[in-house]
Amino acid sequence: MRQKEILLNIQPLKTPDDDSDDHFMSSFETPLRPDAFELDDEVKIERIEKHFREIMTILGLDLTDDSLNGTPRRVAKMYVKEVFSGLNPKNRPHARLFENKYNYDQMLVEKDITFYSHCEHHFVPIYGKAHVAYFSAGKVIGLSKINRIVQYFSKRPQVQERLTVQIGKEIERVLHTQDVGVVVDANHMCVASRGVGDTNSKTGTAYFSGKFKDENIKREFLNYINAK
């Protein structure tokens, strides 16, 4: 193990192929170390800044240039405060529930929720649309909170399959319902900007529970999200 890895307490991951795009997902939970949140955000930013500066130096970039000098700090803040902020459970949305006073017993759909995430294999963007639906079990949730749930789980290194399941299970947990449908359509920059270089393909994943396993209800949901 290299000295840098000892200092960071990082164990190199072993996979069948280090350059592979295959998705090795052992759990719907994001893999985190037990001590993931022992450091506060400012310490994390300082350490990431230091190591990213070293990466840029190894690449041969001149960090005395005005355009590059502040990049390590900007990247570190972006990682901790923005694009990977969903790793920290303190940022989990607190959803307020309301009584279903209208006795609305039909499907509720929030579609075309834009999200931005990062592929955990190459740390390049995944972006697309999420479509979420549920049947009330007595409570309803503010529509913006569904968007916030999608954003929370997106803002971490991800694979699309895990992201889809995490959204679905969180909606179930928050609303105390087993009737949830989630469809995610996404573009993967690890496919478009490197490797095979395919800029046209998209990836689709789905999570269905309870009533959404019924083919008629599933078809109603899919028809709605595909309607112009």
Mean pLDDT by 10 residues, the chain (228 residues): 36 44 66 94 98 98 97 98 96 93 94 97 94 96 95 97 97 97 92 64 93 98 93
CATH number at residue 42: 1.10.286.10
- With respect to residue 88, please indicate whether it lies within any of the assigned structural domains: no
Name the domain boundary from 83, 105, 125.
83
What pLDDT, on the 0 to 100 scale, is given for residue 2?
38
If one counts the domains in the chain, the total is 2
Q: Are 65 and 150 members of one domain?
A: no
Q: Are 66 and 150 members of one domain?
A: no
What pLDDT, on the 0 to 100 scale, is given for residue 74?
98
Question: Of 110, 120, 170, 172, which is the active-site residue?
Answer: 120
**Separation of first and last alpha carbons in the chain:** 54
- With respect to residue 199, please indicate whether it lies within any of the assigned structural domains: yes
Q: Are 120 and 50 members of one domain?
A: no
Question: Of 49, 110, 121, 151, which is the active-site residue?
Answer: 121
Q: Are 177 and 215 members of one domain?
A: yes
Q: Are 122 and 51 members of one domain?
A: no
What pLDDT, on the 0 to 100 scale, is given for residue 104?
94
Q: Are 46 and 148 members of one domain?
A: no
CATH number at residue 146: 3.30.1130.10
Q: Are 165 and 130 members of one domain?
A: yes
Question: Of 160, 166, 170, 172, which is the active-site residue?
Answer: 160
- With respect to residue 18, please indicate whether it lies within any of the assigned structural domains: no
Q: Are 222 and 132 members of one domain?
A: yes
Q: Which of 193, 177, 166, 149 is nearest to 30 (CA)?
A: 166
Q: Are 188 and 101 members of one domain?
A: yes
- With respect to residue 109, please indicate whether it lies within any of the assigned structural domains: yes
The Cα 159–Cα 163 span in angstroms is 6
What pLDDT, on the 0 to 100 scale, is given for residue 193?
64
What pLDDT, on the 0 to 100 scale, is given for residue 190?
74
What pLDDT, on the 0 to 100 scale, is given for residue 196?
64
The Cα 117–Cα 104 span in angstroms is 33
Q: Are 71 and 161 members of one domain?
A: no
Assess whether 131 carries a catalytic annotation. no
Assess whether 3 carries a catalytic annotation. no
Q: Which of 16, 23, 17, 52 is nearest to 191 (CA)?
A: 23
Question: What is the value of pTM for the model shown?
Answer: 0.86
Q: Which residues form the domain of 55?
A: 31-83
